[in-house]
Amino acid sequence: MLDTRSPFSALGTSNATLLRPCAGASRIVPLVAATLACLTPTLALASGDGGGEPGLPPVWTTVFFVVMLLCIAVLPLTRFEHWWHKNSNKLMLGMALAAYPLAHVIFVQPNLHALYETLHEYFSFIVLLGTLFYVSGGVYLSGDLKATPKTNLAFLAFGTAIASFIGTTGASMLLIRPVLRTNHERQHKVHVVVFFIFLVSNIGGSLLPIGDPPLFLGYLQGVPFLWTLGLWKQMLVVSVILLAVFYILDTHFYKKETTATKAEDAATVEPLRVEGKINAVWLFGIVLCVALIGPEHGLLREVAMIGCAVASRFTSPTGTREKNQFSWFPIIEVAALFIGIFLTMIPALIILKAEGGQLGVDTPARFFWVTGALSSFLDNAPTYLVFFNTAQGMVEQGLLTGTDMVVATKGQIPSLVLQGISVGAVFMGANTYIGNGPNFMVKAIAEEQKVEMPGFFGYMKWSAVFLLPCFVIVSLLFY
């Protein structure tokens, strides 16, 4: 749900310009660092018992979290878009909204342990996304294939297959430009980008914690690394349906292309070439860091992931990131936004864990649909975390039971419920442009390449027609 149009709007700029830190970065990074540094004394206390049994925050303290999410969803669509586009403004708004939640858990009803865990999760979250984003930026695919339905199907199937292993952001940034280059002669290609968002930017990231941010947050909460592999059935059903529908649709539109267009396409064919293959080693290294280095080792996991990114910097062929028009803007935006999200979310998580059973969401199907519906219009990562904590609290209160339980750090969740939360967050992040980070990135790049992408509600028509029936099938088959 991150508005990342700016890093791709300067196609006419030099490579050197693209590689310089984006405007505002020199202010944002020190501000985030200063925020964490100011909280360091608190964190030292929080690593203990938190100073006794914390009280339950009043419900009104969740307003700051709600306002934060509404700002992210609504401001990019209003006349305040240009103000919101500056990452420094995102950070200032987030920290302003987080001021009272911070004061509440530090001074009013101290819960320093919750604050410590939140900041640790934020740091791990940013390091994972940042290292995957940087390393994948060192791989460049050149070439221009013949834009047939089979070629496009192969692109989408391959992107769906790798998204769980290099992240939906990494897979999207790696493949969207070759897909657009392959289809640039075609007149009918909007559907290619839309289905790319469905599959590569969202549904493909279902199988591992590094695939999509919600699943990584679950991993940080103690969900076993390989547990998400159990979502393969849901992913396979939806992926096969969407790929089959896409092939039929693309065949239909390909037949409508003129003979001249097809001839021009055939005349510009170039084989695909991969530059920066060494980065496959560092991407695999990041996967191993997440899988093998547990939280009991402190920050060793994050340090090792950063080491993989540094190694990528010195081993990637010269010029690969320039060719990819690499920019730090998206990750700085994520850092600026999510510090506000994570901090304002603390009271909401505490309350939901204690009283979430009163929401009436008490079956796997309800968790699937409610998590998914909110993930469509809010960022799917915090939405996942809210319902994850809600389910844990309901188990502690005896409101949720099951024979197959997933043991996490703070408690247990019935496996089927956690599947509903996970699949709902990952799959339904594809319902709108703001449901998941890569969606807007792909849209922005496509528009720079003169693809007339549908607007916010126009895109929702596509998701309503093609995605919602798939989700109904998933609900009926699995929940």
What is the residue-wise DSSP string for 81-150?
Answer: HHHHHSHHHHHHHHHHHHHHHHHIIIIIS--HHHHHHHHHHHHHHHHHHHHHHHHHTT-EEEEE----HH
The string of DSSP codes covering 434-472 is TSSHHHHHHHHHHHHTT-----HHHHHHHHHHHTHHHHH
- Using CA atoms of 192, 197, 200, 205 in order, give the dihedral in degrees to the nearest 10: -160
Q: Which two tokens stand for residue 275?
A: 């530059």
Q: For residue 180, what pLDDT band results from cuts at 50, 70 and 90?
A: very high
Angle of helix 468-478 versus helix 364-377 axis, rounded to 10: 160
Averaged pLDDT for residues 372-394 = 86
Q: For residue 314, what pLDDT band results from cuts at 50, 70 and 90?
A: very high
Asked if the structure places residue 355 within a domain, the reply is yes
Q: For residue 189, what pLDDT band results from cuts at 50, 70 and 90?
A: very high
In the chain, the number of structural domains is 1
Burial class (CB in 10 A: 0-12, 13-18, 19+), 274: middle
B/e letters for 4-39, b = 16+ CB within 10 Å, e = fewer, are bbbbbeeeeeeeeebeeebebbeebbebbeebeeeb
Q: What is the pLDDT of residue 249?
A: 97
**What is the C-alpha end-to-end distance of the chain, expressed in Å?**
27
Asked if the structure places residue 442 within a domain, the reply is yes
Asked if the structure places residue 23 within a domain, the reply is no
Q: What is the pLDDT of residue 12?
A: 33
For 232-255, write each residue's pLDDT tens digit: 999 999 999 999 999 999 999 999
Q: For residue 309, what pLDDT band results from cuts at 50, 70 and 90?
A: very high
Q: What is the pLDDT of residue 320?
A: 92
Q: What is the pLDDT of residue 33?
A: 52
Q: What is the pLDDT of residue 50?
A: 41
For 340-367, write each residue's pLDDT tens digit: 989 998 998 888 878 877 888 889 999 9
Alpha carbon distance 434, 1 (integer Å): 3
For 35-70, write each residue's pLDDT tens digit: 555 554 444 444 444 444 567 899 999 999 989 888
| Number of neighbours of residue 112 by Cβ within 10 angstroms | 21
Ranking 39-48, 83-92, 260-269, 416-425 by mean pLDDT, the lowest is: 39-48
Residue (of 269, 206, 203, 213) closest to 239 by Cα position:
203
When comparing pLDDT for 333 and 304, which is higher? Answer: 304
Burial class (CB in 10 A: 0-12, 13-18, 19+), 123: middle
Q: What is the pLDDT of residue 429?
A: 93
Angle of helix 213-220 versus helix 415-428 axis, rounded to 10: 150
Residue 404's domain comprises 58-478
Q: What is the pLDDT of residue 51?
A: 42
**474 pLDDT higher than 90:** yes
3-state secondary structure of 212: coil
Residue (of 428, 436, 443) closest to 213 by Cα position:
436
Asked if the structure places residue 43 within a domain, the reply is no
When comparing pLDDT for 91 and 33, which is higher? Answer: 91
B/e letters for 61-95, b = 16+ CB within 10 Å, e = fewer, are bbebbeebbebbbebbeeeeeeebbbbbbbbbbbb
For 377-387, write each residue's pLDDT tens digit: 777 888 898 89
Averaged pLDDT for residues 77-96 = 91
CA angle in degrees (0–180, nearest 5) for 475-154-258: 110
Averaged pLDDT for residues 170-194 = 91
**419 pLDDT higher than 50:** yes
Residue labelled with tokens 């897979």: 171
**206 pLDDT higher than 90:** yes
Q: What mean pLDDT, rounded, does the chain reach?
A: 85
Residue (of 307, 268, 272) closest to 286 by Cα position:
307
Asked if the structure places residue 66 within a domain, the reply is yes
Q: What is the pLDDT of residue 13?
A: 36
For 110-168, write each residue's pLDDT tens digit: 999 889 989 988 999 899 888 988 998 899 988 888 889 999 999 999 999 999 998 89
When comparing pLDDT for 2 and 203, which is higher? Answer: 203
Q: What is the pLDDT of residue 385?
A: 87
| Number of neighbours of residue 259 by Cβ within 10 angstroms | 7
Asked if the structure places residue 146 within a domain, the reply is yes
Q: For residue 402, what pLDDT band results from cuts at 50, 70 and 90?
A: confident
Asked if the structure places residue 139 within a domain, the reply is yes
Q: Which two tokens stand for residue 463?
A: 């998701």
Rg (the chain; Cα; Å)? 22
Alpha carbon distance 216, 232 (integer Å): 17
| Number of neighbours of residue 162 by Cβ within 10 angstroms | 21
When comparing pLDDT for 22 and 303, which is higher? Answer: 303
Q: For residue 323, what pLDDT band results from cuts at 50, 70 and 90?
A: confident
**170 pLDDT higher than 60:** yes
Asked if the structure places residue 178 within a domain, the reply is yes
Q: What is the pLDDT of residue 358?
A: 82
Alpha carbon distance 163, 175 (integer Å): 10
For 429-462, write each residue's pLDDT tens digit: 999 887 887 887 788 788 878 888 888 788 999 9
Q: For residue 370, what pLDDT band results from cuts at 50, 70 and 90?
A: very high
Alpha carbon distance 114, 393 (integer Å): 15
